[in-house]
Structure 1
Amino acid sequence: MKKTIYILFAVFLLSRFDATAQSAGDTLQKKIQLVEKSLVGIIQTEGQPLWTIEERMKHYRLNGVSVAVIHNYKMEWAKGYGWADAAKKIPVTEKTLFQAASISKSLNGVGVLKLVQDGKLDPDKDINQYLTTWKFPYDTVAKNKIITTKNLLSHTAGLTVHGFGGYSHKDTIPTIVQILNGAKPANSDPVRSMFAPGLRSEYSGGGITISQLILTDITHQPYDKFMYEQVLKPMGMTSSTYTQPPVNIKPELLATAYRDNGNEIEGKYNIYPEQAAAGLWTNPTDLSKYIIETQLAYQGKSSKVLNQATTKLRLTPYLDKAAALGVFIDDLEGTKYFQHGGANEGFRCQYFGSLEGGNGVVVMVNSDDGSIMNEIINSVAKVYNFKGLYRSKVYKEVAVDSAVLQSYVGKYEMRPGFNLSITREGNKLYGQATGQGKLDLFAEAQNKFFLKIAPIEIEFIKDDKGKVVTCRVYQGGVNDAKRIE
């Protein structure tokens, strides 16, 4: 009798467990579906309907998108959409690898700081103390100031070369020394001083490439081997690689790169010997492991690669409020996030991880157009209530008489040689900066307009005689352009 009761009790518990698991699964699916149909841009107009991922992929002519969401220090879900290779009809899955582009710099920061943690590198000393196969050629621009590893990782070394274009499969691939010297077959300029180190943050993939050479000169190991064994593998990022081009990976797992018109890049993707700056192949699932490990290490709850002290060093802005050592720190409505974006030929990506609370999101696309990423991040932030990550301003459009619009038509000088031309077609106003395309302007007031594709506003200012004399542009500050025609 007792045995029968025990069996019935066990069955009852199992049925309750199954019901709870099914309920949790249903809840997660509803969240995913809500994210998939709640996309909104950083700019929206009053009454504008929400978009679906499918609609926006079609709008931007995107082939593939991959997303992962981190909640309470766990990757809650990851999912792929569209095609990794459209011609071969290979779908994007959570295993599909994308080029992480400049997100590579974040993991590079972990690797370089592992050397600091192990006592092999002092990040405050002259980089030339550690460079053996090449020395940085200081000149008078540096004003007798040394460049440190902290300068390199925080983009405060005052160095040239913002980014890299990569190489086709037909090209001869240059060595790192050739790249740093701008010597053939390198297709980029030499990495040299632009201004004295330690003055301000000025993004330099060239500086990150120097840190790559420091790592290999110290360890006497190939960069990709050290990074896999000491950084990627310990964090569980076993699908990822810095090897350029990738080896021992099934071709169907590598996303093909596409232009913003949907055309495939020749050779399917470019090769980046500048591995630290742009060479990581990964996916949102693996990047989530990096984000979660960073969050836990910051809390002192894990140390798979870096301990708490070194992690806090990595996440501390060096000179300004944003540029830390391989990451940028954003304070969004009082919630701090570490983040980085990326842009290689045919790839765009972005991640955010909160310093507290264990939340985050990763989006990767195989296109030159990454506009959908902010829309997806907005949707995730709204559904999961990730404070500060939902960034969308709602405008109410107003009607402006054509005669008033005509009074704004003219040429405005932003700076010598760089003008803003305002034109009108019917009841529509357009703006076009020197060397750029024509953009629609939408009225939010009789004399103030906004763009729907970027957080930019334009206001027309009159003098005391009622004549329009200035075009005031709000974009990361206030810039006045004087009317010259």
Structure 2
Amino acid sequence: MAFANNHFYQQQPVIDMKKFKNIAFIILTLLAWTVFIGYGFIDGFLLRPITSQDSAEAFIDATKQKIKNEFVGNVAMALIENGKVSETFFYSIDRPVNENTLFPVASISKWVTSFGVMKLVEQGKIDLDKPVDDYLTRWHLPKSEFDNKKVTVRTLLSHSSGLIDDLGYDGFATDEAIQTIEESLTKAADAGSANGVAIVGYEPKSKYMYSGAGYTILQLLIEEVSGQSFQEYMSKEVFVPLDMQSSTFDYLKESNSQLAQIYTVDKTTRKMNKFTALAAAGLYTTTNDLSKFMIANISENDVLSEKTVQKMSKAETFINNTKVYGLGSHLYSQDDKESNIIGHDGSGNDAINTAARIDLKSKSGIIVLETGNWNMASSIADEWMFWKVGIADYVVMQRNKSYLLTLLIIGYIVIIGISVFIIRKMK
């Protein structure tokens, strides 16, 4: 018996080692497959675009399915190819919309306003790097522990001014009196849950922090320097030269038949709020007009020189070394060398969502204006960026999760099946 037991204990480790190697190989292969899928998810090379076809018609057809799957009250969409509108799509559950229907575009107002500000810079009436307080008489930045002289037109345009207002404006109901610009900057009554006070709360130029009040200060700056109301100035200096015939910062003067119905997430309609902060949130425009504005960013125009437009698209603010914002527009290409996408999104007011983005290199772009859904426009624009240039955002990643999970599981099954087959063959 002693001999037999010794023989067993001498041979058993050899058998266990083979099993261990086989199991280790399977585990390592499964781990490698998991890493591959994970990297493909993060890097984007395994993600699938919303359509595999390379045509504007195919992209719009794919977005129609997305619209069917979620509630949206109305949508106006335009695609730009080679500097021209190539395809449009319009949808509404009630009153029809078209290329001349006025939509509230929320924060896209900031991008359009930046053209008006830079017009004053080109005319030599303001300096990008001079303290903004030097131009103001009706209101001044309140004292803080930081140097207000570092708050310039440049830092206001690029959201690096040090302001901590956290605005997002809710606006005022049509039967409510609105604040003056000065009152709003002192304490915005339509701030919602935001701080709502235009005060410097961190070192100017030190970081990016989105500020609605920064653009309300620019609105005041335009009025003080030009001697005109903000609406009059923007119409004369931006809308008329770009032939934006329908665009307005005073929608109450427009015929109701031109206005898109404002849907909320519960599928009802309501009247649109009005704003003191017009430069930050008050623009009404159409896909027809907005396409003209976007094309002005990639071609000669009657508002700004090509040199100025190029300057506006350069990164002024960063988050973790990633380019975030220029002089009036978001920068969407990040570190991608094959594209240079700028633009702006807008949202809020239960529920307006808008997106306008254009690639300065390929001269292609997208406009999506909608009401009734919190993020339909932005998510379609995100899908467009991945479809067009391969830049994967959160929306694209979320849409691909089930596909990649399926791919992961199929890979597991194949790896285990092949491994078991090989092991049996080797016996």
TM-score (norm 2): 0.74
Bigger-Rg structure (1/2): 2
Gaps (5+ residues) in structure 1? 1-29, 40-52, 297-301, 400-441, 446-485
Residue in structure 2 matched with residue 77 of structure 1 by the alignment: 87
Aligned to 2:269, the other structure's residue is in SS state coil
| More strand, by proportion | 1
Contact 1:347 1:366 in 2 (8 A): yes
Which of the pair has the greater relative contact order for Cα pairs under 8 Å at 6+ separation? 2
Contact 1:241 1:282 in 2 (8 A): yes
Q: Evaluate the alpha carbon distance shift between residue 379 and residue 152 of structure 1 in structure 2; reply closer, same or farther with a 3 A threshold.
A: closer
Contact 1:174 1:186 in 2 (8 A): no
After superposition, the C-alpha distances for 1:203-239 in whole angstroms (9 at most, x for unaligned) are 0001111011001010110101100110111111111
The answer on 1:272 being equivalent to 2:282 is no
Q: Evaluate the alpha carbon distance shift between residue 398 and residue 135 of structure 1 in structure 2; reply closer, same or farther with a 3 A threshold.
A: closer
Q: Percent identical across equivalent pairs?
A: 28
Residue in structure 1 matched with residue 67 of structure 2 by the alignment: 57
After superposition, the C-alpha distances for 1:367-416 in whole angstroms (9 at most, x for unaligned) are 2422354236636864xxx22357534345699xxxxxxxxxxxxxxxxx
Equivalent of residue 159 in structure 1, options 150, 153, 163:
163
Query: What is the letter of the counterpart of residue 307 of structure 1?
Result: S
Contact 1:341 1:351 in 2 (8 A): yes
Q: Evaluate the alpha carbon distance shift between residue 378 and residue 252 of structure 1 in structure 2; reply closer, same or farther with a 3 A threshold.
A: same
Contact 2:83 2:298 in 1 (8 A): yes
Q: Evaluate the alpha carbon distance shift between residue 368 and residue 181 of structure 1 in structure 2; reply closer, same or farther with a 3 A threshold.
A: farther
Residue in structure 2 matched with residue 27 of structure 1 by the alignment: none
Structure 2 counterparts to residues 82-161 of structure 1, below 5 A: 82-83=92-93, 86=94, 90-140=95-145, 142-143=146-147, 146-161=150-165
- 2:307 and 2:365 mapped to 1: Cα distance? 22
- 2:188 and 2:283 mapped to 1: Cα distance? 24
Gaps (5+ residues) in structure 2? 1-53, 410-427
Q: Evaluate the alpha carbon distance shift between residue 221 and residue 372 of structure 1 in structure 2; reply closer, same or farther with a 3 A threshold.
A: closer
Residue in structure 2 matched with residue 282 of structure 1 by the alignment: 285
The answer on 1:202 being equivalent to 2:209 is yes
Residue in structure 2 matched with residue 308 of structure 1 by the alignment: 306
Equivalenced residues, count: 343
Moved more, 179-188 or 253-262: 179-188
Aligned to 1:75, the other structure's residue is in SS state strand
- 2:104 and 2:286 mapped to 1: Cα distance? 8
- 1:347 and 1:396 mapped to 2: Cα distance? 28
Residue in structure 2 matched with residue 457 of structure 1 by the alignment: none
Equivalent of residue 37 in structure 1, options 35, 38, 61:
61
Query: What is the letter of the counterpart of residue 37 of structure 1?
Result: D
Question: RMSD of the TM alignment (CA)?
Answer: 2.6
After superposition, the C-alpha distances for 1:117-175 in whole angstroms (9 at most, x for unaligned) are 000001101111111111111311x2465200001010001112231111111211111
- 2:59 and 2:185 mapped to 1: Cα distance? 43
- 1:318 and 1:380 mapped to 2: Cα distance? 22
Residue in structure 1 matched with residue 31 of structure 2 by the alignment: none
- 2:347 and 2:310 mapped to 1: Cα distance? 27
TM-score (norm 1): 0.66
| More helix, by proportion | 2
